[in-house]
Structure 1
Amino acid sequence: MLWDAEMVFKVVTIFLYLQGLVCSFVTHICALQGTSVTLPCANDIYTFLMPNVCSWYKSKENVPIIENPHYIGRVMKCDCSLMMNNLRENDSGSYRFLKQEVALSVTDLQLKTMDSTVTEGQNVTLTCFSTCTLRNSPIYFWYRDRQLATYTTGNKLHLSQVTSQDTGNYSCAVKGHENRLSSDVPIVVKYNPLDLSVSVSPSAEIVEGRSTILTCSSDVSTAVYNYTWYKKNGVEYLLIGSGYKYIITNARPEHSGLYRCVAERTLIHRSSMDVLITVKYSPRIPEISISPSGEIVEGSSVTLTCSSDAYPAVSSYMWYQKNGDGTVFRGTGKSINFTLASGDHGPYYCEAQNEIGAQNSDVVLLAGEKKSLLAVVVVGSVLAVLTVGGVIALTHHVKRKKSDPVGNTSPKSQDTHPISHDDTYTALNLKAKSSEYETLNNVRKLPCNPALQAAAEASHYENIQERISYL
């Protein structure tokens, strides 16, 4: 009969067992959930006799650990010793290897205290524990609001004469497994009967340039050794002074905000409620915006808008236009709208007013393109169109014939000052550059046909359209 290795192993094991070299034993192991553990071998003889065979079983199960789906991917080594990682709570139980048995307890850390709400100056003790006793007397790490606060060699943390700064959520862990924190336990430190209040004189609303005094006081007779003052800046409070009084002189808008005082006595700090200080100020120099921007054509709509910073906010806006040495009232409201006419080019300014005072803006001018038609007149054989923006003239030489008695054209009957060749156009010459509002008298008079001139003088406005059509 051929003996295989397993049979030889069993025979040798029975022999050794009978000789007392292999003894059955039970040991207990406590491990944290999520960590790793090694279930030790009772005697190295097993490793020597059967180094590659995994014969570990859980409790009374007949399926080896190596074949159990519950342990797939978590068995790191399985021969005489069994190594597992990422322990779970249901891994707790008895494990056997031949005659030896190991009891495994998987636990988690917990934190407790006698009272989670205490008063300033009292003592607090926190205890970190598990359902089984961890081996090797681990070092305990203590956390407040998930930030490391301290560490101890035992599982207790003593807080003496607590203050408001000790308030927070506490948790614990053991060295080597700092990521396995216990659940949080809140500690709330209530204030001692030290009720602080802040009074303001003459008022919490200050007019710019004036002063006010903030006074911090307590309702107990116990001496307060130090007062400090803070002003809120975003989410933080900035230290601004000390003493039970804080004086604001020559108040400015940046003095507005939330203020508090902090009183300190032995091991105790107490803050007052926030007090709101506001600084009132008259309107700053208003700014005027124009819509549309750039040149504005006369006859089109224009909007002027006035804006100014003030506290309280501007209650009224008034608009004025300068007229010589005086002013003309143009309306009220943050914005005014009107159609631009020849006399509307400015200058303008607005006045902003609140309960503290009033302020005028700088003046603004409206730049406009002027295109109002003033006149169309006939000057000799020239039609001149005068606009506010300037003079535009078109000339047209009119063919005129005077017949002699025999029907021939006589040179003497022609104009002594011909203007141009037939069917040509030239620009009208000006005597000098004239104002946009000056008349045609500033235009140099040119020779003209007496007949056309007489017709124009007989009727100043008649047949103008006909003459334009003639061009």
Structure 2
Amino acid sequence: MRKAAMNLSTAASLFLIVLFCEEVQSKWNVNCNPKKICALKGSTVTMSCKYSHPYWEDRIYIKVEKTFWFTKTERDPLDFKTQEEYVDRVENSCISKNCTLTIRDVKESDSATYKFRFITNKYGGSYTGEPGVQLSVTDSNPNLTVKKKSNNYFECSSSCVLPDDSSYVWYKNGQNFHTGNYFYKGWVSNTDSISCALKRHEDFPSPSFCIGGYSCNAVTYSDVRICALKGSSVSFYFNYNSYSDSYPTTSFWFSPGRSTVWIDSSQSEDLTPDSRYVDRVRVTNTRQMSTLTINNLKEDDSAEYRFIFKTYSFSWGSDLHGTTLTVTDVMVEVTRILANQDPQRAELKCHSRCTPANYYYRWFRNGQEIPHNKSTYTVLINTTDRFSCALSSFKEHRAPEVYAPVLTSVSTDFTDDIFEGTQVVLKCSSDANPPANYTWYKKTKSSALPLHGKGSEFDLSAIQTSDSGEYFCVANNQLGENRSEYLNIDVKYAPKRADVSLSHAEIVEGDSVSLTCSSDGNPAPSYSWYKDNQVMLQGQGDMYQFTSVKSEDSGTYCCEVGNIYGRINSSAIFINVEYSPRLPSVSMNPPGYVAAGSSVTLTCSSVANPAATYTWYKEHSTSPAADGQTFTIVDIRGEHGGNYYCQARNSRGHHNSTIHLIVVSSSASSAIAGSITFLLLIGLFLSAFIILSYRKKKAVRQIHQTREGAGDNETKRLGNLGRHQGSSSTAGLGNSVAQDDVCYASVIFSKNQEEPLYSNFVPAEPKTSQNEEKEENVEYSAIMIKNTPCKKSYDASEESSVLYSTVCKVNK
């Protein structure tokens, strides 16, 4: 028992020693498997590597501190999963030195060589696996094959990694008969052939698989895809065999892409009668092969072509994909710019997707052939040069020329006026190959301001007045640039502000004063001026000028501005015209003579701006007698009599007015009062006498008018009166006829009793012998009673308020 235990202990020790020795002797190594992976776009790819290292080296215990994957070969490579394009798509893990990398939803850009690296605690202790894992991501051919797993059970497999959710289409004898998983389970005949394709990749089906071996109804196309140059010829064919091995009774080539012009879109039609292929297509059929040849290829010949046939006992379906033809032109590509050279150079490459690597080329510069036959050509960059190339065997089919942008222009489809708030799109166009990139600018006073727009269109949404200006664009490609002309954008808008200002603050009568109205608006607005919100002043534009301002010009002014898009009023501004006092008006209360011992008040008033102050002076006195508008003197004495003057003064000047004060004694004052009373009585007596005389003369005139008759006009009566006066003068004063013909009068009385009476009046002279002859002369008087109207226009009703009268004086 003890011996057995000893043997076990010895064996364990030996195992540990061997293990330790093995670990010490481990080498630095990374081994990845497989070395190449093909994956279809959208699939999930997993790659793995196993690493090893010694546990002890240079007396240092080796410990792994970091592991990561990388794609870019650099001096200090970085973990590629930190790159933005891999975020949320990458996972990696390590278990017992086995490290895996998983990439989900792979893209064609993920195609690269992935390498694994581990870093230890030892200085320089890092190791990278070589050559890594090469990942190829394709979006086309999944490389499918059909495999028979057992009777009636078939599997569609691929040499590439496919997406986990892939769906498959199954074909039998060229006819779609099942869609589902990667396997098919069901009965098929030994004479049938089946094939499969990945859904959405039906143009890459698997080869047909004969169920019964070699003898079945099967079709094989020579090429799944063919690329050919424009102008060249292409031939493709397919082999077929049938179980009966009988010659086809009907066969032809057709293109599903042309189904829109078929008479019946559900029935395939022979393409040879198609007008687009006439004289360019030839079909050659043998017992088990058909060849389609298309000459002078055009780019619109790019399509899929299938073959269909029938025998007496069998029909090959039209669903299975055939050969896809791509026709491409030769093109010149600018591969790089040698910007560090002076002058700058560009490297051009002549190629197409179908050009063999060892082909010879022809180069052309501005239409002239250049002695150069390589696929690449280095040229000096010159914005006026154009370059083209061709294959030596097809020199008549030249590639489109490459050149710097020319004929660059900027435009807008907005034909009406551009009003504020509308959306305006500027468009830049240019003739360039390669296609140009565009940069937008707005012109400023000193330079050009780059704008944010980079495409061929620049959107000015909800355009503002600040967007008005001149715009241009610059088109550029690898061979140069070209600038457009300016496009002026003029944004229309209604006035937004109106401000009134004065030429100066303090305004004195007689000054030259200007009112200015400041506003905006596009088009430029018109101006109207208002005073006190009532009187409109027109025809002055944005400035209203007072060449010599007057006091009556004081008031509140504003302006109205507007254009076709709207109007706006300014705030009001007040004009205060200052002027010196006008001639003062002086008065005395009580008026007239002032009795000694009484009191009198002198009053002075004047119009002025600013308001006047008043000072009273007595003539020949330099000291003011009083300040203020009124001056009261109490207990009048004789020495108070004399001239007093009032001085009205403000900051703009002064003006004086004089009044005379007469002081009388108390007795003299009573005498004067009596005299005044007597004069008043005399005046009343004379007034009564004049009224009685007027009434008597009026009665005499009415009697005379009755004698003459109502039909005589006033001119005739005056003439008769003149003749009558002449005869009276000859006959003497005693003639009774002369005493009867007193006067002629035409009187019209105003209906308005309040209207004033205007007359020409000559008083009668005393009766003497020297003036008897004069007494017989007639005095004519025109009397008019009339109101002056407020309005200036003529009013016919004025005639009713006028009294025309002829009055003659008569001796009694």
TM-score (norm 2): 0.27
Larger radius of gyration: 2
TM-score (norm 1): 0.43
Relative contact order: is structure 1 or structure 2 higher (C-alpha 8 Å, sep ≥ 6)?
1
